[in-house]
Every structure is written in C-alpha cells, then in structure tokens.
Structure 1
Amino acid sequence: MGPLKPNLIDLLFALICFLAVFTVMLKVLLPRIAKTLAAREEATEGMLGLAEETTLEAQRVLAVYQAELTAARHEAARIRQTALEEGAALLAAVRAEGQRAREELVGGASVRLAADRTVAEAELREDVLGLATELAGRILGEPLTDGERGRAVAEAFFAEVDAERATAA
C-alpha cells in the first residue's frame, strides 16, 4: 500500500472526518465569521460616515472662522484708517490753534512794543531836551532859562530826524 495506493477504510474514515469538520465549519463557524465581518464592516462604514460628517463640520467651522477673521481684518483696517484720519484732523486743529495763539502773541507783543517805543521816545525827547539845554548853557557860559525856545529848537530837530527816517524807509 503506499502513499499512492491508500487503504480504503482509512480513506473513507478520513473523508467522513473531513466532511464532518467541513459541515461544522460551514454551518457554525462561517455564519459567525460572516456576522463578525459584517459587524466590522458596518462599524467601519459608520466610522467613515462619522469621519466624513466631522470633516464637513470642521470645514464649515473653518470657513466661518476664516470669514470672521477676514471681517475682523477689514474692521481693523477701517478702524486704523479712521484713527489716521481723526489724527490728521486733530493735528490740523492743533496746528491751527497753535498758529492762532502765535498770531495773538505776536500781535500783542507788537502792540506792546509799539506802545513801549512811543513811551521811550517821549521820555528820551524830554531827556535830550534837558541835556541839550544844559549843554547849550555850558557852551554859552550862562544858564538858559528860556525853556520854550529850547523846546521849539529840539522839536524842530526831532521833526527833521523823523522826516529823514520816513524818507529812508
């Protein structure tokens, strides 16, 4: 007997055992395996569906976030522009106020200067008149008591100086 010519009883026994195991696998194990595979596939598809829903939700949230970010950037740019314009307007107003204050100060100073000059000229004319009379008295060797005549000479001199100043200007 050998491997190419097996014993018939052993062959039948092996065939019956094989068919019994095959039948048990076909009736018991294969339905369980199919059921487990179906459950796994269903779970996988459910997770894929959930993953797709989550991805779509994430994309929607991202789009909303980007829209809000863009709106915030536009708002920030608008606020910066408004602040820049308000700053420029405020700067112009401050400059105008400073210019007005400067003009007031210069105008007031000019008026005070003119008034002080007039007062100083009047005082100096009186002093020059007194000094001229005294000097004339020293030159003549006798004191001059005619104040009116000295005043008239001094006034004529001052009028002549004022006329020369006006022609020079």
Structure 2
Amino acid sequence: MLQNLVLAAAEEGAEHEDSVLVPPLAELIVGLLAFGLLVGFFFWKIYPQIRKTYAERAERIEGGLNRAERAEREAQALLEQYRSQLAEARSEAARIREDAQAQGRQIVEELRTQVQQEVAEIRERADAALVAERAQVVASVRREIGEIALELATRIVGRELENDTRQRQLVDDFIAGLDEAPQPDAVPAGPGV
C-alpha cells in the first residue's frame, strides 16, 4: 500500500514538478532508503542496547525491591527475635527475683530457727547454772546453819558436844524439816527451781 502511495505521488509529481508538497521521485526513494537504513541500523545496533539497558535497569530495580523486601523480612525477623529474647529475659529476671525472694525467706526462717535454738540453749544453760548455784547456796547455808547451831548448842550446854557425826546428822535432819515446812514469806528462787 505504501508503494502504491509512493507511486501515485511520483506520478503526480511528474505532472506537477513544481509542487512543494510532493518531492521528486528520486528524492523520495533516497529518503525512503535512508529512512529504511536508519530504521535498520536502529533495530540492528541501538534497539538491542536499549533493550539491554532497559532489562538491566528493570533487573536492578527488581533486585533492589527484592533486596528491600528481604531486608524488611530480616529486620522483622530480628525484631521478633529481639522481642522474644526480651520476653525470655524478663521472665528469667522474674524467676531469678522469685528465687531470690524464696531464698531470702528461707534464710530468714533458718536464722530465726537458729536464733530460737540458741536462745533455748542459753536458757537451758542459765537454768542449769541457776539450779547448780542454788544447790551450792543451799549447801553453803546448811553448813553455816549447822555450824551456828552447834556453836549455840555448845554455848547452851556449856561444854563441847562430842560425836561430830551424830551432831551433824541431827542438824541436817533439823534443816530438812525446815525445808519441808511451809513458809509464808517465801521468796521464789527463780524460774525452773
């Protein structure tokens, strides 16, 4: 069809050689040949370069998008990992805090038990010491009372009494009788006595 138009234009050009709109046939053919060569050169050399550059750019853009998506996924995964580690650390800290509190309570309870045992031991030793001291005081008082009673009896009788063993037995029986007799103004000797 293009050829028919070119031929028709050429025929008209032959009739109207002076027409400004229709170029002479030789110029038209040379122009078409030059245009064809230019289009051929374009598709032979330039178009592959344009396609290659376009493909590289599209690949670079697509690769950049893929890298951006991958980086975003990695960042999201790292964020989730960080959050899970943070949650684990918080739960571990809570567990450690609870363990420390439990150990603290256990230590306080152990110390309380130990102190109570020590207090009980001190009381027992003090009670034993009081009982022993009371026994010593009672024995000492009995000896003194016996000696005083013998001295008084010697003064009353006017002569020294003989048979020291018998005298001491008599005094001890007298003092034992005093211990068993109720005393209205008796002062308690202390706890556990």
TM over 0.5: yes
In the TM superposition, residue 78 of structure 1 has moved relative to its aligned partner by 1.2
Of 158, 163, 168, 2:183 maps to 163
Q: Which runs of 5+ in 1 are unaligned?
A: 1-11
Provide the identity percentage: 29
1:4 is matched with none
CA contact (8 A) 2:154 2:161 kept: no
Q: Deviations over 1:70-123 (max 9, x none)?
A: 122202211220231132023212311320232133123202311321222112
Of 73, 80, 89, 1:72 maps to 89
Of 54, 62, 82, 1:45 maps to 62
Say if 2:106 is the partner of 1:89: yes
Q: Deviations over 1:26-69 (max 9, x none)?
A: 44335423421331221121122122112202211220231122
In the TM superposition, residue 143 of structure 1 has moved relative to its aligned partner by 5.6
Q: Give the aligned residue type for 1:52.
A: E
Of 38, 48, 52, 1:23 maps to 38
Q: Give the aligned residue type for 2:161.
A: T
Structure showing greater radius of gyration is 2
TM-score of the pair, normalised by structure 2: 0.58
Aligned length: 150
Distance 1:43 1:145, change over 3 A: same
Of 142, 145, 156, 2:161 maps to 145
Which structure has greater helix proportion?
Answer: 1
**Per the alignment, in what secondary structure is the counterpart of residue 163 of structure 1?**
coil
Q: Which runs of 5+ in 2 are unaligned?
A: 1-26, 189-193
- Distance (whole Å) between structure 1 residues aligned to residue 70 and residue 129 of structure 2: 86
TM-score of the pair, normalised by structure 1: 0.64
My pick for the range that moved more, 92-101 or 25-34, is: 25-34
Q: Root-mean-square deviation (CA), in Å?
A: 3.9
- Distance (whole Å) between structure 1 residues aligned to residue 80 and residue 93 of structure 2: 20
2:117 is matched with 100
Distance 1:118 1:38, change over 3 A: same
